[in-house]
Amino acid sequence: MSMERGPDDELIPTWREAPPDIHTPIDPTAPVSGHQPASEAPRSHSEAPEHQWEAAADHIFPALRPAGMHGAPLEELDEVRLAHEGMKKHALPLVDDGPASLSVVYVLREPSFDVVINADHLLTWGIDAPTLRDRAMSNLRAWSATAPWTDELSGDRHLVSSDTGSGGDAARILLAEVRAHLAGRCGGPSRVLVALPDRDLLIAASLPPADDEFLTQFEGFVADLIEGAHEPIERGLFELVGEEHELVRFER
């Protein structure tokens, strides 16, 4: 027996005229206990990015870390060292030397978290160090080409920042085209300051000659940011110098 609501909001019983046909095929699209069936089969364990390079390749990115991070140097990872590192119970992250003494690691970027790549990943994927590095930089470059910038201008003071929250903002400084862009926006007679307080934030600022007031304000601003950083990188400031816009530690 089921109940139907009538025009006067009274519950009117409705009686079955015949018993249900138990031989009728079950509708495979019908909800069960309030749940709809999955639209497609779940991904098998062997198809996960951790196990298949083809699935992982588009999600590999470089990420900046503080100077002196402990890890297995990617530059020294030949076949013997790779096998040795892969046998460790707790494999070290693979680390490259970054600009201005910063460290660079490589991550498998998932929607809600990053997996830091170690030697075991390379052995599973069957790739070498140059392949990992090249693919990570290629992915970063492709993402950065469409990622937005925020511009703020006040007189001779210019502030340009990347704050997408996707995890790759600070790493954009690894790209020559990004450094050239920042130098073009903030340079000229001004020195180009760079701050990397968090993995999700890259800030460049123009420092006009003899503008000590702005420098003090900018240093304090960056110090406040790093206190609330999700993954802090560097409290100090950097500067872009030379024709190649090299990233170096800022000195007054």
pLDDT digits (tens, 9 = 90+) for 175-186: 999 999 999 999
CB 120 within 8 A of CB 91: yes
Listed residue (66, 126, 124, 121) closest to 94, CA to CA: 121
The three-state secondary structure class of 251 is coil
pLDDT category of residue 10 using cuts at 50, 70 and 90: low
Instruction: Classify the phi-psi angles of 114: left when phi > 0, otherwise alpha if psi is within -120 to 50, otherwise beta.
Output: beta
Please state the domain extents for the chain: 53-144, 150-249
pLDDT at 43: 52
Listed residue (64, 130, 127) closest to 97, CA to CA: 64
Looking only at the bridges linking them, the beta strands covering 60-65 and 11-14 are unpaired
pLDDT at 41: 47
Phi first, then psi: give them for residue 123, nearest 5 degrees.
Answer: -65, -40
